Amino acid sequence: MQGEIAGDGLDVFENEPDVPSELIALDNVVLSPHRAVHTEETLMSLVELVMGNLEASPPPNKPLLSAVILDG
């Protein structure tokens, strides 16, 4: 068994929420929904970030706390 992975736990998938059937068929893989943001602390931080961005919107034309930068 040298060089093999015995098992894996995954909670992030490329095309969420569609999990590849190949992963579902494996008996050495545990799959769970991505829920890292679902804690009281992270939800409150998200609320503060959204409120800060709304308060920065024109007017008063302050820089956004989490500006979206588009490539290209």
Containing domain of residue 48, as a range?
37-72
pLDDT tens-place string over residues 56-68: 877 777 887 887 7
Q: Is the domain of 23 the same as that of 45?
A: no
Number of domains the chain is built from? 2
User: What are residue 29's phi and psi, to 5 degrees?
Assistant: -130, 130
Q: Is the domain of 29 the same as that of 47?
A: no
Q: Is the domain of 22 the same as that of 41?
A: no
Q: Is the domain of 42 the same as that of 30?
A: no
| Verdict on whether the full-model pTM lies above 0.85 | no
Q: Which long-range contacts (CB under 8 A, 24 or more apart) does 34-38 make?
A: 35/11, 36/11
At 4, is the pLDDT very low, low, confident or very high (cuts 50, 70, 90)?
A: confident
Q: Is the domain of 18 the same as that of 45?
A: no
Residue 66 CB contacts under 8 Å (≥ 6 apart), including other chains:
49, 53
pLDDT tens-place string over residues 18-63: 888 998 898 998 988 776 667 888 889 989 988 988 888 777 778 8
